């Protein structure tokens, strides 16, 4: 595998040192992560198509772009990939054409050729798609042990509409799956948070998918405000500082969930992932050093799994909530990952509205919030 990386800004292709060695005549796939208004720009997309005429080009708007050890805003970050023997197949579906996100996930998995399918990297609209249900749909059809990872697109800190696309089809509501085929490719995953839990365990007693109404038989929003104290006056923005951990009855693992909006009339909270009844929840708070260390540990887990102790390309998908919490220290979590992944690994990625990754190599994919999720690729030649 060879990679070629650029930042496209002001009509100028700015090469990333050390990662511009791909044979551009053999680029099979290009990942483009960038600001929504740039993803929407027909002229910018035409420039990318002209540079990579034969590639499948995957687009995602972001809440910030990751390129090497940089965190950028208002840019287009492009990673072109040339494989030696790995085959890829890319599919796009529109959420508007399905009754729900679960059915969309089922159809998307089955739209890929399953013969020799090894891994899927997924990029999804971040506002119109229920990420939990999308992944549940994919998992329900995945009887062949294919690992799935990826992320939900972002729109800065606006939490408005997002854009994703494949080649010339760019718009709202798109979900793109890239399937990887062949025995030469090795794919590794890890996802960690680094948040501190506090308070006692509580039980969800009333919810509807990702809308939470009651905890321990009490109004969820009022209870949450009691925990927040003076921060409750800054809701919903301050909710990014205090996510919630959740453990369902059918899993020993905990997920992190971010609050997107609150409804004062209904006294409810809407989360970025489903909040099933009978699940156990605890409040969480930021610990800056632990957030950065979690990024390093996520990279460490990927490298420890790597059979050849080497990664060609790492795609980092972190959460917009982490970026808003870390602020000027955001690059520290990227530096922490880079220090473990090494200088020869090409790094790209974005800040998202949700991260997708298994807990372990054999695990089913889950929707995560407030984590640093890393997918590492190595082509064994």
Q: Tens digits of per-residue pLDDT, 249-260?
A: 887 788 999 888
What is the spatial distance between Cα 99 and Cα 12, in angstroms, rounded to a whole number?
42
Query: Would the pLDDT of 19 be above 80?
Result: no
290 Cβ neighbours under 8 A, 6+ residues apart: 194, 195, 196
**CA–CA distances in Å: residue 189 to residues 39, 70, 119, 277, 302:** 27, 21, 11, 29, 6
pLDDT tens for each residue of 26-49: 899 999 999 999 999 999 999 999
Q: Closest Cα to residue 63, out of 154, 129, 133, 145?
A: 154
Q: Is 100 exposed, middle or buried (0-12, 13-18, 19+ CB in 10 A)?
A: middle
Is residue 53 scored above 60 in pLDDT? Answer: yes
Cα separation, 330 vs 341, in Å, equals: 18
126, pLDDT greater than 90: yes
Rounded average pLDDT over 145-153: 96
- Confidence category of residue 80, pLDDT binned at 50, 70, 90: very high
| Range 125-143 average pLDDT | 95
Which pLDDT value is given to residue 272? 85
Q: Tell me what the mean pLDDT of segment 280-284 comes to.
A: 94
**Residue (of 18, 12, 13) closest to 3 by Cα position:** 18
What tokens were used for 21? 């060695």
Confidence band for 7, pLDDT divided at 50, 70 and 90: very high
CA distance 6 to 31: 11
Q: Residue 127: its pLDDT value, please?
A: 92
Predicted pLDDT of residue 274: 93
Q: State the pLDDT at residue 359.
A: 73
Do the Cβ atoms of 22 and 29 come closer than 8 Å?
Answer: no
Q: Tell me the per-residue pLDDT of 287-322, one tens digit each, with 9 for 90 and over.
A: 889 999 999 999 999 999 998 889 999 999 999 989
Distance in angstroms (rounded) separating the CA atoms of residues 239 and 9 = 33
Q: What is the pLDDT of residues 217-249, one digit of tens each?
A: 999 999 999 988 888 888 877 888 889 999 988
Reported as type and span, the H/E element at residue 331 is helix 330-341
pLDDT above 70: percentage of residues in the chain: 97
List beta partners, residue 212. 207, 269
More confident residue, 157 or 64: 64
pTM of the shown model? 0.93
Q: Is the pLDDT of residue 20 over 60?
A: no
pLDDT band of 23, cuts 50, 70, 90:
low
Residue 376 has pLDDT above 90, yes or no: yes
Which phi and psi angles does 107 have, rounded to 5°? -65, -40
Strands 244-247 and 117-124: unpaired
Q: Is the pLDDT of residue 361 over 60?
A: no
pLDDT reading at 362 higher than 80: no
Q: What is the mean pLDDT of residues 55-83?
A: 95
pLDDT, residue 18, reads 58
φ and ψ at residue 92, rounded to 5 degrees: -125, 135
pLDDT at site 94: 98
pLDDT for 360 beyond 80: no
């Amino acid at each position: 595998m060879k990679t070629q990386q650029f930042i496209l800004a002001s009509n100028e292709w700015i090469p990333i040192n050390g990662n511009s060695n791909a044979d551009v005549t053999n680029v099979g796939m290009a990942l483009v992560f960038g600001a929504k208004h740039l993803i929407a720009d027909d002229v910018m997309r035409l420039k990318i198509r002209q540079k990579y005429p034969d590639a499948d080009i995957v687009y995602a708007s972001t809440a910030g772009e990751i390129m090497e050890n940089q965190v950028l805003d208002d840019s287009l970050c492009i990673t072109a990939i040339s494989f030696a023997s790995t085959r890829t197949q890319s599919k796009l579906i529109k959420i508007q054409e399905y009754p729900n996100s679960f059915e969309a996930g089922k159809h998307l998995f089955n739209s890929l050729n399953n013969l020799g399918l090894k891994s899927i990297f997924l990029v999804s609209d971040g506002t119109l798609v229920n990420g939990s249900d999308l992944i549940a749909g994919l998992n329900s059809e995945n009887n062949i042990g294919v690992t799935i990872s990826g992320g939900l697109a972002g729109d800065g800190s606006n939490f408005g509409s997002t854009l994703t696309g494949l080649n010339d089809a760019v718009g709202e509501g798109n979900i793109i799956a890239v399937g990887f085929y062949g025995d030469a490719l090795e794919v590794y995953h890890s996802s960690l948070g680094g948040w501190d839990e506090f308070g006692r365990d509580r039980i969800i007693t009333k919810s509807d998918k990702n809308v939470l109404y009651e905890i321990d038989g009490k109004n969820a929003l009022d209870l949450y405000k009691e925990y927040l104290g003076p921060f409750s006056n800054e809701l919903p923005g301050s909710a990014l500082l205090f996510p919630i951990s959740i453990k369902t009855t059918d899993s020993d693992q905990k997920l992190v969930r971010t609050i997107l909006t609150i409804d004062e009339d209904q006294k409810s909270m809407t989360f970025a992932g489903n909040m099933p009844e009978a699940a156990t929840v605890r409040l969480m708070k930021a610990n800056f050093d632990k957030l950065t260390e979690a990024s390093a540990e996520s990279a460490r887990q990927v490298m420890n799994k790597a059979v050849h102790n080497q990664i060609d390309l790492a795609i980092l998908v972190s959460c917009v909530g982490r970026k808003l919490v870390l602020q000027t220290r955001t690059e520290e979590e990227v530096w922490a990952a880079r220090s473990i992944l090494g200088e020869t690994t090409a790094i790209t990625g974005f800040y998202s509205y949700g991260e997708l990754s298994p807990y372990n190599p054999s695990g089913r994919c889950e929707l995560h919030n407030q984590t640093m999720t890393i997918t590492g690729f190595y082509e064994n030649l």
